[in-house]
Amino acid sequence: MNSEKHEQNLLARFMGIPEIGGPQRYAIIRRTFIVLMLLITVLPLLLMTVINYHQYRTVIKDEIMTPQKSLVNKTKHSFEVFLANRLATVRFISSAYSYNDLADEKKLNRVFQVLKREFQGFVDLGLINSSGIQVSYVGPYDLKGKSYADQEWFEQVKVNGVYVSDVFMGYRRFPHLVIAVQHYSDSGEFWVVRATIETRSIDQLIAAMGLDPQSDAFFLNQNGTFQTTSKFYGKVLDSCSECVPPVSHEPAVIEWKDPQGKEVLLTYAYLTRPEFILVLAKPKAEVLKVWYALRGDLLLVFVISVGIIVVVVLRLTRVLVDRIQLSDEKRELAYREMQHSHKLSSIGRLAAGVAHEINNPMAIINEKAGLMKDIIELRPDFPEKPKFLGLVQSITQSVDRCRTITHRLLGFARRMEVEIEVLDVNDVVKETAGFLEKEALHRNIGLTLLLAPDLPRIASDRGQLQQVFLNILNNAFAAVKDGGLVSITTWEKDLDAIGVTFQDNGIGMSEETMKHIFEPFFTTKKNSGTGLGMSITYGIIKKLGGDIDIQSKPGEGTRLVVFLPKKPKEQTRELG
Q: Would residue 312 count as lying in a domain?
A: no
Phi, psi of 284 (to 5 degrees): -60, -40
Cβ atoms 520, 531 nearer than 8 A = yes
Q: Would residue 550 count as lying in a domain?
A: yes
**Number of structural domains in the chain:** 2
Alpha carbons 148 and 128: distance in angstroms, whole number:
8
Residues 89 and 235 in one domain: yes
Residue 211 CA, distance from chain mean position: 49
For residue 167, give the DSSP letter.
Answer: P
Residues 120 and 264 in one domain: yes
* Domain CATH code at residue 184: 3.30.450.20
Res 212 pLDDT > 90: no
Q: Would residue 378 count as lying in a domain?
A: no
Q: Would residue 330 count as lying in a domain?
A: no
Confidence of residue 248 (pLDDT cuts 50, 70, 90): confident
pTM of the model: 0.39
Cβ atoms 290, 210 nearer than 8 A = yes
pLDDT given at position 266: 85
Confidence of residue 293 (pLDDT cuts 50, 70, 90): low
Q: Would residue 326 count as lying in a domain?
A: no
CB atoms within 10 A of CB 563: 18
Q: What is the mean pLDDT of residues 431-456?
A: 89
Q: Would residue 9 count as lying in a domain?
A: no
* Domain CATH code at residue 489: 3.30.565.10
β-strands 276-283, 446-450 pairing: unpaired
Nearest CA to 324 out of 551, 13, 16, 26 is that of 26
Res 292 pLDDT > 50: no
Rg (CA), the chain: 44
Residues 6+ apart with CB under 8 A from 29: 12, 15, 17, 321, 324
Residue finishing a domain among 244, 267, 291: 291
Residue scoring higher pLDDT (440 or 342): 440
Alpha carbons 482 and 525: distance in angstroms, whole number:
17
Give pLDDT tens digits for 39-83.
Answer: 888 888 888 777 776 666 565 444 434 567 888 889 989 888 888
Using left for φ > 0, alpha for ψ between -120 and 50, and beta otherwise, residue 320 falls in: alpha
Res 348 pLDDT > 80: no
At 20 the three-state DSSP class reads coil
Phi, psi of 281 (to 5 degrees): -105, 130
Alpha carbons 548 and 546: distance in angstroms, whole number:
7
Out of 165-169, 493-497, 536-540, pick the least confident.
Answer: 536-540
- Domain, as residue range, for 440: 418-574
Cβ atoms 265, 255 nearer than 8 A = yes
Res 575 pLDDT > 70: no
Res 182 pLDDT > 90: yes
Residue finishing a domain among 291, 311, 327: 291
What's the 3-state SS for 367-426?
Answer: HHHHHHHHHHHHCCCCCCHHHHHHHHHHHHHHHHHHHHHHHHHHHHHHHHCCCEEEECHH
Alpha carbons 550 and 561: distance in angstroms, whole number:
6
Strand partners, 180: 163, 194
Residues 6+ apart with CB under 8 A from 545: 564, 565, 568, 569, 571, 572
Residue finishing a domain among 291, 324, 352: 291
Residues 429 and 284 in one domain: no
Q: Would residue 393 count as lying in a domain?
A: no
pLDDT given at position 347: 63
Residues 6+ apart with CB under 8 A from 195: 86, 90, 115, 122, 123, 124, 125, 126, 178, 179, 180
End-to-end CA distance of the chain: 19
Residue type, 83: L
Q: Would residue 563 count as lying in a domain?
A: yes
Alpha carbons 297 and 7: distance in angstroms, whole number:
46
Res 167 pLDDT > 60: yes
Four-point Cα dihedral 216, 221, 222, 226, nearest 10: -50
Give pLDDT tens digits for 104-142.
Answer: 999 999 999 998 888 888 899 999 999 999 999 998 888
Cα separations (Å) of 221 from 44, 210, 224, 238, 274?
47, 23, 6, 11, 8
Give pLDDT tens digits for 500-557.
Answer: 999 999 888 888 877 777 766 666 665 555 556 677 788 788 888 889 998 988 888 8
Burial track 439-464 (b if 16+ CB lie within 10 A, e otherwise) = ebeeeebebeeebeeebeebbbbbbb
Residues 120 and 268 in one domain: yes
